[in-house]
Amino acid sequence: MNFVASSGPISVIAGWGHALPDSCVSNQELMRRGVETDDEWIVTRTGIRQRYMAAEGEMTSHLAARAARAALAKAGRSSADVDAIILATATPDNTFPATAARVQALLGMEGGFAFDVQAVCSGFVYALSLADNFIRLGQARRVLVIGAEVFSRLLDWQDRGTCVLFGDGAGAVLLEAQDHAATEAKPRGILSTHLHSDGRGYDLLRADGGPGSTGTAGHVRMQGREVFRHAVTRMGEVIEETLAAHGLTGESLDWLVPHQANRRIIETLAERLGLPMDRVVVTIDQHANCSAASIPLALTVAAEDGRLQPGQLVMLVAMGAGFTWGSALLRW
Ligand code: UT7
């Protein structure tokens, strides 16, 4: 667990942005394309109404660079100001190098360092935690943290239990070091992050291929009900852990920004927290599950439409394959 130091740099979100492919595909459109499903099942079981899908040739790096440029513009910074890029993705352009290196080049950066993080749907929270550590330790002053996916490339269109669930997109934040005085009671920025994984869940949600096994990328395979159960339990636990670490209760939160895998999971979490749904950011209806991009997409949508206000307490919480899960508590 990382905690805000009593003094020294704290990581503040100075800019944010997102990018979506042009093509928006409704549930009805999936049915027209031959997926044996129906809109009512998808909406009632998941909350998903549509997803965006990358065009041929459109890759994770392209979406990531667009989101990063938007975050830089919002912060009034240029790529020359950035010390590091941490990109969370399960759908890299190539097996190697890291897609973050491609993004670095697309942004015209000639310095700094860039690497990918693979924690699937928890990737953005993992990346944010790493970036926060670099900033606290003084190894970087500004870090672009990006979640970007072209998850549609991993879907088996014959498997209706998974192919209706995912979409493509990217979200980015610029984390900036701000020195704060020990006397400051309510500093803005990341207050703590909490990361977990449990490899015993490896086979319950995975791609059935990989460069080191089949030589192919594989397709998404998921035991949905088991994953659902773990998602509710693990995210619930890490929310409690985070609140307890700060002596807070669910009611103290202004916003919960959860991973967007299933509206029913999100509603269960909110209910357990005693948090009304109008303090929970839900974008799954628009974007479906964009894996590592889900949380930064939801965060940037809520920031853009003015829901997030300076000084508010925001909890990010994620759960994904691995299993991985984690949270970040921040003051906006
Ligand atoms: O992002 C990482 C974390 N991921 C998650 O947290 C996902 C967790 N899991 C889930 O969200 C849910 O388990 C799913 C949405 C994936 C599935 O919902 P479910 O209520 O667990 O459904 P199920 O898989 O148990 O299937 C129930 C029925 C089955 O029919 P029968 O056997 O009862 O006749 C399925 O064949 O729903 C059927 N079904 C569908 N019907 C129409 C499954 N997929 C579809 C579909 N359209 N797309």
User: What pLDDT was estimated at residue 2?
Assistant: 58
Task: Enumerate the β-bridge partners of residue 13.
Answer: 175
Q: Is the pLDDT of residue 180 over 80?
A: no
Confidence bin at 123 (pLDDT 50/70/90): very high
For the CA of 321, the nearest atom of ligand 1 = 2
Q: How many CB atoms lie within 10 A of CB 41?
A: 12
Q: What 3-state class would DSSP assign to 182?
A: coil
163 has catalytic annotation: no
User: What pLDDT was estimated at residue 182?
Assistant: 62
CA of 41 to the centre of ligand 1 (A): 9
Tell me the pLDDT tens digit for each residue of 206-240: 999 999 999 999 999 999 999 999 999 999 999 99
**Residue 3 to residues 10, 191, 243, Cα–Cα distance (Å):** 10, 6, 12
User: What pLDDT was estimated at residue 8?
Assistant: 80
Q: Which helix (H) or strand (E) holds 315?
A: strand 313-320
Q: Which helix (H) or strand (E) holds 332?
A: none
Q: Is the pLDDT of residue 189 over 60?
A: yes
CB of 227 closer than 6 angstroms to any ligand 1 atom: yes
Tell me the pLDDT tens digit for each residue of 33-68: 999 999 999 999 999 999 999 999 999 999 999 999
User: What is the average per-residue pLDDT within 314-326?
Assistant: 98
CA of 226 to the centre of ligand 1 (A): 11
